[in-house]
Amino acid sequence: MNFTINGTVNDIYGNPLPGVVIQIKGTSQRTISDINGTFSIHVTDSKATLVFSYEGYVSQEIRVTGPDYLTVVLTDDAVSPEEVVVVGYATEKKADLTGAVSVMALPAAGQTFYHVPRYRPVPEYNTEGYSVIHENGFKNPLREPLSTFSIDVDAASYSNVRRFISQGQKPVQDAVRIEEMINYFDYDYPQPGNGHPFSIVYESGECPWNQDNLLLHIGLQGEKISNDEVPPSNIVFLIDVSGSMDAPNKLPLLKNAMKLLVGQLRPTDRVAIVVYAGSSGLVLPSTPGDQKARIISALERLHAGGSTAGAAGLKLAYEVADRNFIRDGNNRIILATDGDFNVGPSSNAEMERMIESYRNKGIFISVTGFGIGNYKDDKMEIIADKGNGNYAYIDNLMEAKKVFINEFTSTLYTIAKDVKIQIEFNPAYVKEYRLIGYENRLLDEEDFEDDRKDAGEMGAGHSVTALYEIVPATDGSKPERNLKYQQSDVNTDAAGNHELATIHFRYKKPDSDTSTLLTEVIPDRILSLERTSDNFRFSAAVAGFGMLLRDSEFAGTMDVDKVLAMARASRGADEDGYRSEFIRLVELSKSLLLSSNDKW
Amino acid at 586: V
d(CA 353, CA 315) in angstroms, rounded, equals: 12
CATH topology for the 146-223+415-482+489-531 domain: Immunoglobulin-like (2.60.40)
User: Per-domain residue ranges for the chain?
Assistant: 3-77+99-115, 146-223+415-482+489-531, 227-412
- For residue 118, count other CB atoms closer than 10 A to its CB: 18
Amino acid at 472: P
Sign of the Cα torsion 208, 434, 377, 286 reads: positive
- For residue 347, count other CB atoms closer than 10 A to its CB: 11
pLDDT at 91: 37
Amino acid at 94: K
Q: Which residues contact 276 (CB under 8 A, 6 or more apart)?
A: 88, 238, 239, 240, 241, 242, 308, 309, 310, 312, 313, 314, 316
DSSP state of 448: G
**∠ CA 593-596-600 to the nearest 5 degrees?**
60
Question: How would CATH label the architecture of 3-77+99-115?
Answer: Sandwich (2.60)
- For residue 452, count other CB atoms closer than 10 A to its CB: 7
**∠ CA 428-429-435 to the nearest 5 degrees?**
120
Q: Do domains 3-77+99-115 and 146-223+415-482+489-531 have the same CATH topology?
A: yes
Global pTM reads: 0.77
pLDDT at 10: 84
DSSP state of 588: H
The values of phi and psi at residue 42, to 5°, are -90, 130
3-state secondary structure of 365: strand
Question: How would CATH label the architecture of 227-412?
Answer: 3-Layer(aba) Sandwich (3.40)
Amino acid at 462: H
Half-sphere exposure of 586 (CA within 13 A, CB side): 27
pLDDT at 82: 35
d(CA 46, CA 163) in angstroms, rounded, equals: 37
pLDDT at 65: 85
**∠ CA 324-325-331 to the nearest 5 degrees?**
115
291 class by beta-carbon count within 10 Å (0-12 exposed, 13-18 middle, 19+ buried): middle
Q: Which of 515, 458, 455, 540 is nearest to 207 (CA)?
A: 540
96 class by beta-carbon count within 10 Å (0-12 exposed, 13-18 middle, 19+ buried): exposed
Long-range Cβ pairs for the range 286-293 (8 Å, 24+)? 286/234, 286/236, 286/320, 286/323, 286/324, 289/233, 289/262, 289/265, 290/265, 290/266, 292/262, 292/263, 292/265
DSSP state of 57: B
Whether residue 52 contacts residue 9, with contact meaning beta carbons closer than 8 Å, is answered with yes
3-state secondary structure of 302: coil
pLDDT at 216: 98
249 class by beta-carbon count within 10 Å (0-12 exposed, 13-18 middle, 19+ buried): buried
d(CA 474, CA 309) in angstroms, rounded, equals: 59
d(CA 459, CA 331) in angstroms, rounded, equals: 14
Secondary structure element (H or E) that encloses residue 335, with its range? strand 330-337
Sheet holding 49-53, edge to edge: 30-32, 21-24, 49-53, 60-63
Weakly modelled stretches of the chain, pLDDT under 50: 78-125, 345, 476, 598
d(CA 139, CA 252) in angstroms, rounded, equals: 47
